[in-house]
Structure 1
Amino acid sequence: MNYYNTHSVSPLIIAHNKDQTREINGDEFNQQIQKVVKILQGFSGKGIAYKLDNTPAWLVIDAATAVSNKVAVPIAHFFSEQQTQYVLVQCGANLFISDTLNHLLEEPVASITVFELYTLYIYEIVVAKPNSYFPETQKVTFTSGSTGQPKGVCLSAKSQMQVAQSLCDKINIKKPVHLCLLPLAVLLENIAGVYAPLKSGGTVHLIPLNELGFVGTALKQPAQLIAAIDKVKPNTLILVPELLACLVTFAEQGWQPPSSLQFIAVGGALVSEMLIVKARSLNLPVYQGYGLSEAASVVSLNTPTNDNRQSAGSVLPHIQTKIENGQLFIKGDLFLGYLNHQPHNKKQWYGTGDLVEQHQNTLFIKGRLKNLIITSMGRNISAEWPESLLLSQSGILQAVVFGEGRPFLSAIIYADTKLSNPVLAQYINAINKQLPDYARIQKWHRLAAPLSVQQGLLTTNNRPKRDAISKQYHDVFEQFYRLGEVINE
């Protein structure tokens, strides 16, 4: 896969680390790839899992797995240790590569230093039963796991490159300068933020995530993100809605986005037209897109030459679409299948689970078929996951979790009157420790009386009517996200 355009003598990658900046051209990059390839070929087995920060080392491992004819299994940095262990078991990886020592594994069998800067630890994993990957599998990307168990989506090199090429053609910026703000293990940044810019002869800037102001999935120091954009002066960025809202807030407070910006793609969750209009008025050239891992990240995208602010853009040329009962179905060079499941037949339509309207090849996203929360950071969470943990605590009698399009999850809770607020808070804190940070309950509202069928807030079999509850407690939720306070009736 020559997605790195490694014959280029101009910088492919510019790495920023604290006060250091290092330019890496194609020859240097190839040398490091070959060094890693020699090590990978010394181990038997097919799967190579890696959990690394946003550094050139990530790109080296990514490329080396392809050159070695191995299966790449990138793991997002925000996955909890439990989720990481689950991925390692499910993917049957023989090697795990990390830029930090892992106390849950045996001692590393080897280490390697990439570009004389990044030390990588290589762990060999004893696999009880070798995994049988689908033919042509080059990468297994794991979703954030709506129920706590991430799902492996198997992709070929061809499907990834097809999306990257379609994006190059559609965006049509020659030699773009791109700054990666999302984790490289997120498929959208991997393909649209690395492969596509480099296929267009561009340069990719990498900054460690903590230096961008991130702690886990949360942006704790947004000023660092703004400073990075000012320093790099990129042409292109990829954002989730929460990061877009951050940039808009800074711009409203007087920040001047660099004039170099030509194209900011925003995806991962639905973005309101109002936010897009406001962003553009503040010199942020934002364009909404839509995609899913099963389609190798991007399905549709708005561009300056083909733009509808109310939509998620026009469908990429290599994908076919149809709508049945409001649900979007797609067909084309999609995923090979889910890991450890039956293969996906490319001749068959794939149901996305999204409710969509389509007009003249342009998609208008209306919502989800399933009861899935998609936060403004683009994380997918089944509400029943944290709810079930809450309800497992003695004294918590009802719990309904919300957070669609919001930066974090909140909950409506009814508990036994004998349970004091401090003890309830302890219960919630204990539950949060079992969850990755994106699935934690950060704010909660305690009810004085239980939700009931008579109020129209429960079905006859006592399932929560989420829309009705959301409307009933609209003011409470607005106060949560405006003030961030815990409220009790």
Structure 2
Amino acid sequence: MSMLNSLSDLATQPAVVAHFANQTQQFTGTELLQEINKVAEIFANSDADAIAFQLDNTPAWLVLDAATSVANKVAIPIAHFFSQQQTQYVLAQCGAQLFISDMPRLSLGAHTLSITLFDHYTLYIYQLNVKEPIRYFKGTQKITFTSGSTGEPKGVCLSTHSQMQVAQSLCEQIGISKPTHLCLLPLPVLLENIAGIYAPLLSGGCVHLMPLNELGFVGSGLKNPEKLISAIDSVKPNTLILVPELLTCLIAFAKQGWQPPKSLQFIAVGGALVSDALIATARELNLPVYQGYGLSEAASVVSLNTPKNDDLKSAGTVLPHIQTKIEKGQLYIKGELFLGYLNQAPHNPNNWYATGDLVTQHGNKLFIKGRLKNLIITSMGRNVSAEWPESLILSQSAIVQAVVFGEGKPFLTAIIYAIPELSDQQLSEHMKFINQQLPDYAQVKKWHRLAQPLSVQQGLLTTNNRPKRQAISQQFNLIFEQFYRLGEVIHD
């Protein structure tokens, strides 16, 4: 159960296809292994224990990720869209002695070495001064930094075994042999790293990589969705991984007449609660969407819905290597999990890990209700998970963002961003329709429509586009005060 073994099995077959500037280049398993060993030798001759890297979605990223494992070094992939402040924070926390980038970093001074992979990708290697060496947990192969709800990412330490265990379980659960997978999420996002690279390669498949700007991304946001659709049409993949925002994008295009490639067999969606109504809409439009659930502490995926055991309302069957229990509505997991948080106490593998997620479980299937910390208790003492009405509001693909509030208040309110093509009247009708599906205490009585979406740059979203509820509440404090004084819906 090794990615390197899978590359050996793909010795003469295309394992990775790189797309750049209207060109494509195929790399066999043998060609990838040659570059991995070349870089691993450089790492092995270095005194560095840990190596941080920040690259675009290219084969060079895969090479660095694998080479750290071959050289027995700790890999610290940093998201390409992290701000300079976040990147500096990660580098200060992680103890990496080397930092590798696909562009010169003037703030780090002169690079000590540059290497070119596949005669195309030039990488710049910087020596970092580490004030105090970090003691990593035994077996740490990767430290993935979650964006968190604050601006300071948290380092989750993972072993090779935990990552490959998830990848292998996914291969068995999904059951598609030799899949063609197109990576749409940044590779440092653990879900794409494990489920989008390791799992397809273990299944004898081929991974297609494209720079994020050619997929339509600017920073962490999708600014040119036409490019994303064009990439899917061009590659004709069998599998994709989406976050809810990308799912709503695909649905919007399909409603406008776009025909998804018939090659698509399986689209996993995760990262936030998705309503079953939205998934049903996607399937009606020939998008074979299946919801999953996971977290970095479990090396990405905990459960996944699949065609073999489909339940549209669920986040699927728990992967076989994970144990679960529920206490007071909260999910606890045990098994091959993370080793601990960087610079904190280790995680005891015999202990249950509290996920912070509210779920119900029927048989071995999970039904996600929302985050424990996003539980709203109204002034009438009613408990409402914010994600419940939010997921229903977002079932309209023209609505891109919805954040619900109401802690200690007599009714719920929301901040909403919808594309301009959706009129205020249509939005009002949609909200009436949604409220009809909710009990009175969970209905969103008033909302504020934004002229511009919430963004990471404003400090209102995490880097994986989850709302920073406290920051949003403070930003729109005057609006919320008006909600509970005035009778009408307010738009900006």
Q: TM-score, normalised by structure 1?
A: 0.80
Instruction: Tell me which of 124, 127, 135 is aligned to 1:124.
Output: 127
Q: For residue 3 of structure 1, what is the aligned residue in structure 2?
A: 3
- The 3 A distance-change label for structure 1 pair 449 and 231 is closer
- The 3 A distance-change label for structure 1 pair 125 and 201 is same
Instruction: Tell me which of 155, 160, 163 is aligned to 1:157.
Output: 160
Q: For residue 116 of structure 2, what is the aligned residue in structure 1?
A: 113
2:435 is equivalent to residue 432 of structure 1: no
Q: For residue 200 of structure 2, what is the aligned residue in structure 1?
A: 197
Deviation beyond 6 Å, 4+ runs, structure 1: 372-377, 400-407, 428-431, 433-437, 439-444
Q: For residue 343 of structure 1, what is the aligned residue in structure 2?
A: 346
Displacement after TM superposition at 1:43 (Å): 1.7
Q: 1 CA distance for matches of 2:413 and 2:77?
A: 29
Q: Is contact 2:305–2:316 with CA below 8 Å preserved after alignment?
A: yes
1:90-489 matches, within 5 Å, as: 90-371=93-374, 432=458, 438=465, 447=478, 450=481, 455=484, 475-476=489-490, 487=492
Q: 2 CA distance for matches of 1:435 and 1:311?
A: 26
Displacement after TM superposition at 1:405 (Å): 11
- The 3 A distance-change label for structure 1 pair 449 and 41 is closer
Displacement after TM superposition at 1:406 (Å): 9.0
Q: For residue 426 of structure 2, what is the aligned residue in structure 1?
A: none
2:56 is equivalent to residue 58 of structure 1: no
Residue type of the alignment partner of 2:7: T
What runs of 5+ residues in structure 2 fail to find an aligned partner?
Answer: 376-385, 395-402, 404-411, 420-450
- The 3 A distance-change label for structure 1 pair 110 and 356 is same
- The 3 A distance-change label for structure 1 pair 240 and 339 is same
Q: Is contact 2:74–2:143 with CA below 8 Å preserved after alignment?
A: yes
SS in structure 1 of the partner of residue 360 of structure 2: strand
Q: 1 CA distance for matches of 2:171 and 2:456?
A: 46
SS in structure 2 of the partner of residue 229 of structure 1: helix
Q: For residue 90 of structure 2, what is the aligned residue in structure 1?
A: 87
SS in structure 1 of the partner of residue 351 of structure 2: coil
SS in structure 2 of the partner of residue 348 of structure 1: coil
Deviation readout 1:268-307 (Å, 9 max, x if unpaired): 0011111100000000000000000000000000000111
- The 3 A distance-change label for structure 1 pair 155 and 446 is closer
Residue type of the alignment partner of 1:207: M
Q: 1 CA distance for matches of 2:126 and 2:211?
A: 22
Displacement after TM superposition at 1:2 (Å): 2.8
Displacement after TM superposition at 1:446 (Å): 7.5
SS in structure 1 of the partner of residue 300 of structure 2: coil
Residue type of the alignment partner of 2:313: Q
- The 3 A distance-change label for structure 1 pair 406 and 319 is farther
SS in structure 2 of the partner of residue 432 of structure 1: coil
Q: 2 CA distance for matches of 1:131 and 1:215?
A: 34
Q: For residue 47 of structure 1, what is the aligned residue in structure 2?
A: 50
Q: Is contact 2:150–2:462 with CA below 8 Å preserved after alignment?
A: no
Q: Is contact 1:80–1:435 with CA below 8 Å preserved after alignment?
A: no
Deviation readout 1:76-106 (Å, 9 max, x if unpaired): 1121111100100111001000101112212
Instruction: Tell me which of 71, 75, 78 is aligned to 1:75.
Output: 78
Displacement after TM superposition at 1:23 (Å): 0.4
Percent identical among aligned pairs is 62
Q: Is contact 2:50–2:73 with CA below 8 Å preserved after alignment?
A: yes
Q: 1 CA distance for matches of 2:211 and 2:151?
A: 26
Deviation readout 1:302-361 (Å, 9 max, x if unpaired): 000111111111101100000001100000000000000000000000000001111101
Q: 2 CA distance for matches of 1:142 and 1:240?
A: 18
Q: 2 CA distance for matches of 1:236 and 1:431?
A: 31
- The 3 A distance-change label for structure 1 pair 430 and 54 is closer
Q: For residue 417 of structure 1, what is the aligned residue in structure 2?
A: none
User: What RMSD, in angstroms, separates the aligned Cα atoms of the two structures?
Assistant: 3.1
Displacement after TM superposition at 1:164 (Å): 0.3
- The 3 A distance-change label for structure 1 pair 433 and 307 is closer
SS in structure 2 of the partner of residue 280 of structure 1: helix
- The 3 A distance-change label for structure 1 pair 2 and 404 is farther
Q: 1 CA distance for matches of 2:97 and 2:193?
A: 23
Q: Is contact 1:13–1:206 with CA below 8 Å preserved after alignment?
A: yes
Residue type of the alignment partner of 1:272: S
Q: Is contact 1:270–1:405 with CA below 8 Å preserved after alignment?
A: no
Q: 1 CA distance for matches of 2:212 and 2:455?
A: 26
Displacement after TM superposition at 1:125 (Å): 0.4
- The 3 A distance-change label for structure 1 pair 435 and 314 is closer
Q: TM-score, normalised by structure 2?
A: 0.80
Q: 2 CA distance for matches of 1:191 and 1:138?
A: 13
Displacement after TM superposition at 1:27 (Å): 1.2
Q: 1 CA distance for matches of 2:374 and 2:416?
A: 10
Q: For residue 35 of structure 1, what is the aligned residue in structure 2?
A: 38
Q: 2 CA distance for matches of 1:77 and 1:448?
A: 34
Q: 2 CA distance for matches of 1:193 and 1:434?
A: 28
SS in structure 2 of the partner of residue 88 of structure 1: helix
Q: For residue 438 of structure 2, what is the aligned residue in structure 1?
A: none
- The 3 A distance-change label for structure 1 pair 170 and 83 is same
Residue type of the alignment partner of 1:3: M
- The 3 A distance-change label for structure 1 pair 153 and 406 is farther
